[in-house]
Amino acid sequence: MNTIRELIRLSNGEELDIKYPIELFDKDGNLLYYENSDGFWCKNQYKDGEQVYFVNSDGLWWKSVYKDGHEVYFEGSDGYWLKYEYKDGKEVYCEDSDGHRVDNREPVDMTIEDVCKLVGKNVRIVG
C-alpha cells in the first residue's frame, strides 16, 4: 500500500509540506487512516459501528465478525483466532486456536433416530 506521502509526491519528485501525523476519520469519528512522518501507517474498517479490520505497515492485521452486536469471530495475522456463540445476549461458548474452550450451551435432547439423521449413518450406542 502506498503511503499518503508517496501518493502526493509531485511529478518532479518534490514533496508537499505536510503536517504529521495524518489522521482521517469517518463521519462517526472513527479513525480510518493514520500515518506518521516515519512512514508508519495503519488502516481501520468499521461496520455498524464496530471495528472489523485493522492493518498496519508492519504487516500486523486482524479482523472481527459481529452478529447482533456481539463479536462471533476474531482472527489475527499471528494465526490466533477466537469463536464465540451467544444466547439471549449472553456468551455461551468460546473456543480459541490455543485449544481453550468454554462451553455453557444447554444440551440438546435427541432420539437415536435424530442422531442417525444428524450423522448420516446408523448409530449404535456402546457402553
Contact indicator for 80, 86 with CB cutoff of 8 Å: no
Specify the higher pLDDT residue, 53 or 7. 53
Measure the CA angle with vertex 30, ends 29 and 36; round to 5°: 105
Domain residues of the chain, as ranges? 1-58, 60-127
Q: What is the pLDDT of residues 10-24, one digit of tens each?
A: 777 777 778 899 999
Span 89-104, pLDDT tens digits:
999 999 999 999 999 9
Model pTM?
A: 0.73
Where would I find the H helices in the chain? 4-7, 112-119
Residue 81, Cβ density class (10 Å: 0-12 exposed, 13-18 middle, ≥19 buried):
middle
Model pLDDT for residues 37-77, shown as the tens digit of each residue: 898 999 999 999 999 999 999 999 999 999 999 999 999 99
Give the pLDDT of residue 3: 75
Contacts by 89-92, CB closer than 8 A, 24 or more apart: none
3-state secondary structure at position 112: helix
For 41, other C-beta atoms within 10 Å of its C-beta total 20
